[in-house]
A and B are shown apart, each in its own frame.
Chain A
């Protein structure tokens, strides 16, 4: 039953953010500042934070849609300078699917770009549609699929391209609770079957506790960074009602509340005093984690 893969068993850091800063041109305060992050190969990492804290900016930087304005962001040692097939994104919006292509052609899109033969890429697409439980829906257009099915097509499309790292930006945020729960469980199954590294962005604490090996909590924006990282040492498969789940939820919730308060402090007080209070808070968190 306990087949948890602890962080030490992963294959070493695949993604490394060292002191990165990201700011839009013409804007005084950066979105992200002094952000450090190290993600292990094969890890399921959840990024959690209050809305507007720059979670999506982190994902956009890793995906290569935007470029860091300071610091170093590397994937397997190589600096990220643009989008690439080694990183794939599952978007929250279903508008990321190609509405003029059937499910199978959506999934076969990546293989087609690689120049795979028609037969080969359909075989690949069928395999991954099967993995996300969409056998029998291959020839439907996105408009004929439900919200949950569309997100499954997105997941299959990303997997068919065999990326090193999967980036997921609140992929289940727009789904109803029941569908979301089902897809969360299936995603864990897929992760275990494919051994992919996953960076999963969410604002739902329960989702992060259910899915993640580790949960990174971002400080309130602007100039946000990753304030705390909490390892989720609950055994898998996890159930929402299991002992420990609620405690973990409470712990993370308290940390986020602290971050929001710290953000408010920073907004009202200027400079050094506020920074010191933030540092104290983080030390407090670290203790919490070690308990």
Chain B
């Protein structure tokens, strides 16, 4: 009894928190173990049941990837795809957020645009590919337009939902505190809706990835979609896998960067997840 009491203060000179910080989060260990096992499984299945040309093992994909990186081919495709995604995603969000805010705040503006939103959001962007290529040519404009189209509806609908979710007490409080309609819009509606806009943008980013690949498969001579689709002609499955892995990694990276930006600059506007 006396022993334990005497020991308590001196036995832990390092604060608990400091010691905990040294240790690796157990979740990360599980992540790593999971990924290693999956790659191993991939290797076993592809070498046991398939020809390498049908299901390339991880080693082959890795060496092909290294070759493509060294020759600069991979970065060319990654770069052009990313450029299309970011440009379309940024323009789409910049257009959709203000329109969504206006639609959420003004019933007439909402009534003007709502029929089109409800109609076009069910028409996938790829359905527009041929007319867009006819109107705007096979160049970058068409691809960026297609991604803008994909982005706009998701961001807009999320923004409208955000505006309608503002607690009435907030706008009432603002009115009591002397805010006019313009000030309420700028200082209450906009910041209160920001988490919804950001969530819409995160979702739209995922869709932009999917869309750019489809667009590049059908009408392009560069980009990850082109890489995947063109490799089909020579049964170059290892190159297809490189395209697939690049898309997944880029998606994770883009989402991580986006989340960090939200945490850094907008964490007080609302929950991130």
B172 and A98 form a contact (CB under 8 A): no
* Residues in chain B within 8 A of chain A (CB atoms): 167, 169-170, 172-180, 183, 187-188, 191-192, 194, 268-270
B172 and A63 form a contact (CB under 8 A): yes
Closest 5 CB pairs of A and B: A96-B169, A83-B175, A95-B167, A110-B177, A113-B178
A150 at the interface (CB under 8 A from B): no
A249 at the interface (CB under 8 A from B): no
A65 at the interface (CB under 8 A from B): yes
Q: Known contacts A98-B188, A100-B269; is A85 also within 8 Å of B176 by CB?
A: yes
Residues in A neighbouring B269, C-beta threshold 8 A:
99-100
Nearest Cβ in chain A — how far from B258, in angstroms?
Answer: 19
B187 and A141 form a contact (CB under 8 A): no
Residues in B neighbouring A97, C-beta threshold 8 A:
173
Once the chains are docked, how many angstroms separate the CA of A100 from the CA of B170? Answer: 12
Output the nearest chain B residue to A90 by Cβ-Cβ distance: B173
Residues in B neighbouring A89, C-beta threshold 8 A:
172-173, 176
As a 0/1 sequence over residues 139 to 158 of chain A, the CB contacts with chain B under 8 angstroms (1 = contact) are 00101000000000000011
Which label, helix, strand, loop or mixed, suits the secondary structure of the B interface?
helix
A161 and B169 form a contact (CB under 8 A): no
Residues in B neighbouring A87, C-beta threshold 8 A:
176
Residues in A neighbouring B178, C-beta threshold 8 A:
84-85, 110, 113-114, 161
Between A and B, how many residue pairs show CB distances below 8 Å? 75
B170 and A95 form a contact (CB under 8 A): yes
Residues in B neighbouring A83, C-beta threshold 8 A:
172, 175-176
B191 and A100 form a contact (CB under 8 A): yes
Give 16 pairs: A residue, B residue, CB < 8 Å, sorted on A. Answer: A82-B175, A83-B172, A85-B176, A85-B177, A85-B178, A88-B176, A93-B169, A96-B167, A98-B170, A99-B270, A109-B179, A110-B177, A113-B174, A113-B187, A143-B268, A157-B177
B167 and A100 form a contact (CB under 8 A): no
Q: What 20 additional pairs, Cβ within 8 angstroms, besides A64-B175, A96-B167, A113-B179?
A: A83-B176, A84-B176, A84-B178, A89-B176, A91-B173, A93-B167, A95-B167, A95-B169, A96-B172, A98-B170, A98-B187, A98-B191, A99-B192, A99-B269, A100-B268, A113-B177, A113-B180, A113-B187, A114-B178, A161-B176
A88 and B177 form a contact (CB under 8 A): yes
Residue in B170, B183, B194 whose Cβ sees the most chain A Cβ within 10 Å: B170
Residues in A neighbouring B172, C-beta threshold 8 A:
63, 65, 83, 89, 91, 96
Once the chains are docked, how many angstroms separate the CA of A215 from the CA of B163? Answer: 39
